[in-house]
A = this chain, B = another copy of it.
Amino acid sequence: MKESIGAKTIIYPTPVLVIGTYDKAGKPNVMTAAWAGICCSAPPCVGVSLRKATYSYGNIMERKAFTVNVPSENYAREADYFGIVSGRDVDKLSKAGLTPVRSEVVDAPYIKEFPLVLECRLLQAVEIGLHTQFIGEIMDVKAESDMLGEDDLPDIKKVKPIIFAPESRKYYGTGKLLGKAFSIGKEL
C-alpha cells in the first residue's frame, strides 16, 4: 500500500559531488552538491544545481567553468564539511588539508586527492527556482591510475563513491554487484 509523503526531493541514489571553482581573485573554492546528474550523452554533459546565495554560483557565472569531483568514502567527512561552510568565509581546501590542482582543460581547480574528476565548461544556466542548474560540457575526465579496472575505466568498487539519502540526511557506501546493464533484462 502506497502512502503520500508530500512533495519532497527524494530519489535514490542521490550523488555526493564536490564542485571546484575559482573566484575573481583566483582563489580555489569547493562546495558539495547533491542536486546533480549526467544530463546528455552528446555533447557529454553534467547538470549541477546551486543556489544563487552560494559563493560557487558567482564563481561559475564569472569563469564559465567548474569541476565535478567524486569523493571516495574515506573523504566523507571532508565532503560533508565542504557543504556546511562557505568559501566566502574560509579557505575550505586548506582547512581540510586537500590540494587544489589547476585544470589544464578548463578555468577551474580540481582536488588532487579525490579519485575521479570531470572538467566542465559552462554550456547553459537554467533558472528553475531556488536553484539554478549549471549544465557543463564534460571536456575531459581524469581518474587516479590505481582506480582503473581491467577495461581502463574507473572501477566503482575502487572509487568507493558516497550515496546521499535526502531528507533522512545520511551517507551510504556502494554495495554489491547486482548484474550487467543492457544484459540481465534480456532474460525476462
Contact = CB atoms under 8 A, between A and B. Distances in A.
Interface of A: 1-15, 17, 34-47, 49, 68, 70, 73, 76-84, 95-96, 101, 112, 116-118, 123-124, 126, 128-131, 133, 135, 137-145, 148-149, 151-157, 159, 161-188
A175 B174 contact: yes
A49 B3 CA distance: 27
B3 A143 contact: yes
A1 B40 CA distance: 28
Nearest to A17: B11
25 contacts: A2-B112, A3-B145, A3-B148, A5-B154, A6-B141, A7-B141, A8-B138, A9-B41, A14-B37, A36-B37, A38-B166, A39-B49, A39-B128, A40-B133, A73-B178, A76-B178, A77-B179, A81-B185, A83-B181, A83-B182, A156-B168, A157-B172, A170-B177, A171-B178, A172-B178
Contact of A140 (B4, B11, B129, B142): B4
